[in-house]
Amino acid sequence: MSTMKVLICQEIKNLVWEVRERPVPGDNEALI
Residue-wise pLDDT tens digits, 1-32: 689 999 999 999 988 887 777 666 666 665 55
Handedness of CA 9, 13, 16, 22 (dihedral sign): negative
pLDDT at 25: 65
Q: Is the pTM of this model over 0.85?
A: no
pLDDT at 27: 63
pLDDT at 5: 93
Rg (the chain; Cα; Å): 14
- Amino acid of residue 27: D
Measured CA to CA, the distance from residue 21 to residue 30 in angstroms comes to 17
Measured CA to CA, the distance from residue 30 to residue 9 in angstroms comes to 30
